[in-house]
């Protein structure tokens, strides 16, 4: 059974023979649904085994992959608290597990999906390649994933001999691609995080010196433009601003906890002059250095 309409909805539910099941993986349904902003979800022309009330959720007998390529919404399951999902997320649904999901009314979403089962996928799950505890994978927008889902839809529509075996191959291709992309994204994010943390350490270790952001970028073996952009994305500060905040915080500590003069502190923190330190400190804190010291000590 295949359904289409003017909005581009395109899905099919397939027949599966005993011979198909001997292959070890078979597909029950595949499709694409663009849900318009404010649109009803889910659409009503699905079989009763698949249709569900998003407030109550449902339990399937199969695995499904749901790839969101536009918009945002939420997902929740027995093993996952309610969480936001958006374009670039791929949700894996597991058999015999309660779940629910839906696009937000003010955004809608586009979804590709494919439902399948068999001992091949059971073995992959048993080996923890995919887990119920991590059903939402960040894969970003992958044109080749869209192409694989689209090819699966077209293959199901054509319904030629050995269609089920071809679809099984496409499912394995999708699963392999998803694993590769999601793990590489995690690795890349971890590598970026480590570089940012290393930059922060370099700044902390050089708080009494004057280290330029360009020097830090060089130590990290990255371009300055990349470093500045990524550092600000992660910390909310440009590198120079962050370094200045470290210096001001250290100045606060020295003013409150030591008897060093303002001039000595300015010199120790490598400011160009006492006046320069005075100006920056007041701009950042609203106090002059002496006023801050007196305030911290309850004077005046």
Q: How far apart are CA 299 and CA 44, in angstroms?
A: 73
Q: Are 167 and 249 part of one and the same domain? A: no
274, 180: one domain: no
Asked if 263 and 255 touch (Cβ cutoff 8 Å), the reply is no
Query: What whole-number distance in Å separates Cα of residue 47 and Cα of residue 51?
Result: 6
Q: With contact defined as beta carbons under 8 Å apart, do 68 and 88 qualify?
A: yes
Residue with tokens 């009314």: 105
Q: What's the pLDDT at 16? A: 95
Q: Name the domain boundary from 156, 186, 216.
A: 186
- One DSSP character per residue, 132-148 reads TT--EEE----HHHHHH
Range of the domain at 108: 2-186
The answer to whether residue 196 is domain-embedded is: no
Tokens of 87: 């374009």
Q: Are residues 146 and 210 in the same domain?
A: no
In a domain, 279, yes or no: yes
Same domain assignment for residues 124 and 270: no
Tell whether 42 and 119 lie within a shared domain: yes
Give the pLDDT confidence score for residue 7 in this predicted structure: 36
The residue written with tokens 């394995």 in the block is: 172
Q: Domain for residue 200, yes or no?
A: no
Flag whether 87 is in a domain. yes
Q: CATH number for the domain including 54?
A: 2.60.120.280
Q: What's the confidence (pLDDT) of residue 55?
A: 92
Are residues 170 and 37 both part of a single domain?
A: yes
Q: Is residue 160 part of a domain?
A: yes
pLDDT at 183: 86
CB 228 within 8 A of CB 255: no
62 and 164 part of one domain? yes
Helix or strand holding residue 83 (H, E): strand 80-86
pLDDT value of position 47? 74
Both 96 and 56 in a single domain?
yes
Do 48 and 163 lie in one domain? The reply is yes
Predicted local distance difference test score (pLDDT) of residue 300? 62
Whether 153 and 245 map to the same domain: the answer is no
Q: Residue 132's pLDDT is what? A: 96
With respect to residue 278, please indicate whether it lies within any of the assigned structural domains: yes
Determine the pLDDT at residue 9.
53
In this structure, the answer to whether residues 227 and 292 fall within a common structural domain is yes
Domain count within the chain:
2
Instruction: Provide the whole-model pTM.
Output: 0.67
From first to last of its 300 residues, the chain has per-residue pLDDT tens of 433 333 355 778 899 999 999 999 999 999 999 999 999 998 877 777 788 899 999 999 999 999 999 999 999 999 999 999 999 999 999 999 999 999 999 999 999 999 999 999 999 999 999 999 999 999 988 888 999 999 999 999 988 999 999 999 999 999 999 999 988 887 788 888 889 989 999 999 899 988 999 999 999 999 999 999 999 988 889 999 999 999 999 999 999 989 999 999 999 999 999 999 999 999 999 999 999 999 988 886
169 and 264, same structural domain?
Answer: no
């Amino acid at each position: 059974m295949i359904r289409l309409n003017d909005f581009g909805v395109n899905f099919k539910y397939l027949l599966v023979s005993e011979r198909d099941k001997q292959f070890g993986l078979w597909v029950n349904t595949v499709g694409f649904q663009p849900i318009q902003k404010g649109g009803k979800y889910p659409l009503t022309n699905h079989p009763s085994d698949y249709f569900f009330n998003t407030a109550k959720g449902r339990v399937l007998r199969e695995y499904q992959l749901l790839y969101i390529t536009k918009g945002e919404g939420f997902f929740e399951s027995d093993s996952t608290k309610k969480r936001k999902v958006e374009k670039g997320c791929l949700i894996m649904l597991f058999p015999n597990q309660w779940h629910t999901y839906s696009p937000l009314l003010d955004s809608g979403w586009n979804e590709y999906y494919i439902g399948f089962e068999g001992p091949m996928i059971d073995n992959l799950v048993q080996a923890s390649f995919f887990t119920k505890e991590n059903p939402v994978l960040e894969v970003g927008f992958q044109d080749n994933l869209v192409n694989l889902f689209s090819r699966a839809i077209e293959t199901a529509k054509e319904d030629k001999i050995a269609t089920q075996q071809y679809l099984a191959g496409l499912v394995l291709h999708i699963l392999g691609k998803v694993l590769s992309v999601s793990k590489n994204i995690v690795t890349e994010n971890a590598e970026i995080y480590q570089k940012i943390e290393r930059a922060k350490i370099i700044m902390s270790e050089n708080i009494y010196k004057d280290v330029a952001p360009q020097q830090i970028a060089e130590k990290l073996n990255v371009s300055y433009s990349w470093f500045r952009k990524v550092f600000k994305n992660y910390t909310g500060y440009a590198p120079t601003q962050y370094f200045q905040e470290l210096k001001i915080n250290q100045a606060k500590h020295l003013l409150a906890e030591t008897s060093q003069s303002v001039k000595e502190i300015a010199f120790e923190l490598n400011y160009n002059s006492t006046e320069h330190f005075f100006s920056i400190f007041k701009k950042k804190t609203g106090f002059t250095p002496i006023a801050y010291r007196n305030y911290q000590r309850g004077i005046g």
